[in-house]
């Protein structure tokens, strides 16, 4: 019989998602929706991001920017899945968050809480830094 004690170097196979580099770009027009970007590191499993919420926003939708027939459009998506071993990456020009009714007291340099819900992994919460319209977040070049 083989017994494994805790801490014996065996990695857990439980689903795990770690949200990194989360940031929010304020709307160019006051009262318009802000945009959110982030990366989710997955521990080698397939995963689906089901929703993102924030106590500082009225609602948050996931959107996809795609070009079809020479026309670029944004459309809402219900969830975003990744293949085994691939991160979930929301960026300018691709999948991103549209954040509606953002607290008007927030300014560039502030942070907001983003709460992520997944299909398999436990929920995760992070603080996302707010940047002004037209700026990019930490570690990201201009898009």
With H, G, I as helix, E, B as strand and everything else as coil, classify residue 74.
strand
Whole-number pLDDT of residue 93: 86
Position 101 in a domain: yes
Query: Number of helices (H) and strands (E), helices first, in the chain?
Result: 0, 10
Task: Output the domain CATH number for residue 42.
Answer: 2.60.40.1890
Position 70 in a domain: yes
pLDDT above 70 for 118: yes
Position 110 in a domain: yes
pLDDT tens-digit map of 22-80? 999 999 998 899 999 999 998 878 899 999 999 999 999 999 988 888 888 889 999 99
Position 3 in a domain: no
**Helical (H) or strand (E) element with 118:** strand 111-118
Whole-number pLDDT of residue 103: 95
Tokens coding 95: 């999948």
The total domain count for the chain is 1
Position 137 in a domain: no
Question: Which single residue is written with the structure tokens 């919420």?
Answer: 53
Position 11 in a domain: no
pLDDT tens-digit map of 99-108? 999 999 999 9
Report the C-alpha gap between 34 and 84 in whole angstroms: 30
Domain extent, residue 30, equals 17-131
Position 143 in a domain: no
Position 115 in a domain: yes
Report the C-alpha gap between 114 and 20 in whole angstroms: 11
């Amino acid at each position: 019989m083989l017994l494994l004690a805790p801490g014996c170097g065996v990695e857990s196979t439980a689903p795990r998602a770690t949200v990194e580099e989360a940031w929010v770009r304020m709307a160019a027009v006051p009262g318009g929706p802000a945009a959110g970007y982030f990366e989710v590191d997955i521990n080698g499993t397939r995963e689906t991001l089901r929703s993102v919420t924030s106590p500082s926003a009225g609602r948050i939708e996931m959107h996809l920017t795609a070009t079809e027939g020479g026309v670029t459009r944004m459309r809402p998506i219900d969830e975003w899945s990744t293949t085994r071993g691939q991160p979930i990456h929301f960026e300018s020009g691709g999948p991103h968050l549209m954040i509606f009714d953002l607290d008007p007291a927030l300014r560039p340099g502030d942070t907001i809480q983003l709460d992520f819900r997944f299909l398999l992994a436990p929920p995760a919460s992070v603080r996302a830094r707010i940047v002004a319209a037209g700026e990019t977040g930490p570690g990201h070049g201009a898009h």
